[in-house]
Each structure stands twice: as structure tokens, then as C-alpha cells.
């Protein structure tokens, strides 16, 4: 079995959890369920960074070698895909009455995906080089 298979399943399950959070936020009930988790100064921004960072980490562990090469930078394809989806989701909040587009939320989410995606890739590479 490919070592990435387990990570891919975990990434899929975590993505479903993130989707659940998004749906509850769109319905206006996320605060009732998750409000205490980030009910402190800048808790929402930290939650965006951490939640999407974990998704980026799992994606980096799942697809560690797939990159897009741009001038001066090589980005994980998984980070680009997640970044596009996260951007669309944040923009969609403009049309939802109890949500609001927030550029800082978007920046926190994208920063988490990019940073933790790279960490996931490095962990996967390090582990695969140390395997017997």
C-alpha cells in the first residue's frame, strides 16, 4: 500500500469536517457549536490559520511531490487547489446574509495552507528517506 493512502483518507475525513463547519456557519449555527473554541481576541483568525493549515498539512502528506513551478517558486498543487477553493468559499460569503467576506480571514486561511502544506511535504520526505 502506498504510504500516502492513509494520509489521503485522513485528509478526506478532515475536509468533510471543514465542510461541516462551513455549512453550519452558512446556516448561522456555527457559533452555537464551535463558538467557545475561538471566543477570544483574534480567535477567528487563529481558527482559520489552524483549521486550513491542518487541511494543508494533510494534503502535503497526501500529495508530497506534485508541484507547480512558477518563476522563483515551486508550489504544491494541493495547496493551489485548496487555496482556490478557500478563496471561492470566502468570496461566496458576500452573498450569504449572516456571513461576511473578510480579507484577513482569507489571508490567514491561505497562509495556513501554504505553511503547513510545506511542513507536511517535508515530514513525508523525511519519513520516506528514513524508512528501511
Q: Give yes or no for a contact between 124 and 64, defined as CB atoms under 8 angstroms apart.
A: yes
Q: Structure pTM?
A: 0.87
Structural domain total, the chain: 1
Give residue 35's pLDDT: 72
pLDDT band, residue 63 (cuts 50/70/90): confident
| Segment 67-80 mean pLDDT | 92
**Is residue 82 scored above 60 in pLDDT?**
yes
Residue 80 structural domain:
3-130
Q: Strand (E) positions, 1-132? A: 67-70, 73-76
Amino acid at each position: 500500500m502506498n504510504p500516502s493512502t492513509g494520509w489521503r483518507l485522513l485528509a478526506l475525513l478532515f475536509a468533510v469536517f471543514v465542510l461541516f463547519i462551513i455549512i453550519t456557519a452558512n446556516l448561522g449555527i456555527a457559533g452555537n457549536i464551535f463558538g467557545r473554541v475561538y471566543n477570544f481576541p483574534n480567535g477567528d483568525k487563529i481558527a482559520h490559520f489552524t483549521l486550513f493549515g491542518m487541511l494543508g498539512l494533510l494534503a502535503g502528506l497526501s500529495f508530497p511531490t506534485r508541484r507547480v513551478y512558477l518563476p522563483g517558486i515551486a508550489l504544491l498543487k494541493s495547496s493551489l487547489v485548496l487555496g482556490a477553493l478557500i478563496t471561492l468559499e470566502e468570496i461566496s460569503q458576500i452573498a450569504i446574509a449572516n456571513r461576511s467576506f473578510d480579507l484577513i480571514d482569507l489571508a490567514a486561511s491561505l497562509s495556513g495552507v501554504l505553511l503547513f502544506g510545506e511542513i507536511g511535504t517535508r515530514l513525508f520526505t523525511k519519513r520516506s528517506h528514513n524508512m528501511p
